[in-house]
Amino acid sequence: MVAHNKLYMIIALSSVLTLCACASAKVSSNAVPEGGLTVSQLYEQSIGDPMPSWSVKKSVTKPVNYEGYTRNAVNEINVLFKPLANPQIPVYVFPHVALIGDEQLIKPGYTTAFFLYKQNQFALASEQF
């Protein structure tokens, strides 16, 4: 049992010392400059040849827009079930001081809106609206 604990202690200490030795190795000051290098500079440094320009060429044809020809769920729902008018009532809240506990908070003026009806209504698919 004692030999078993000593073995674990020796392994643990040797691994800690190894990690500390690796962590304390001094990095040379000229390895990476303070500002950093770009990818092309690193490439030129390691290979010696200038980096070729890799640019993606744009296609000559125009992109095709299928928006008017395709169907999607939102378009179908909006066409079949038209929303009925639910006007909004705008309300302006003047600047005021709100008391929260012992603190006074200055609230700026803002505008909000309330719907006239409680929920939005939609016409049925067969209704002409």
Supply the mean pLDDT for the chain.
76
Q: Which helix (H) or strand (E) holds 121?
A: none
Give the pLDDT confidence of 75-105 residue by residue, as tens digits: 787 778 888 888 989 999 999 999 989 988 8
Beta strand 110-115 with 103-107: parallel, antiparallel or unpaired? unpaired
SS3 sequence of 37-92: CCHHHHHHHHHCCCCCCCCCCCCCCCCCCCCCCCCCHHHHHHHHCCECCCCEEEEE
- What pLDDT does residue 95 have? 92
What mean pLDDT do residues 17-24 have? Answer: 62
- What pLDDT does residue 128 have? 72
Structure tokens at 72: 């999607």
pLDDT of 119 higher than 80? yes
Give CA 119 to chain center in angstroms.
33
- What pLDDT does residue 109 have? 93
Q: Which amino acid is at 127?
A: E
Distances (CA, A) of 123 to 50, 75, 82, 88, 115: 67, 15, 5, 19, 18
- What pLDDT does residue 28 have? 58
Q: Which amino acid is at 96?
A: H
What mean pLDDT do residues 26-54 have? Answer: 66
What 19-28 contacts at long range (C-beta under 8 Å, 24+ apart), as own/partner pairs, is none
What mean pLDDT do residues 110-121 have? Answer: 90
pLDDT of 110 higher than 90? yes
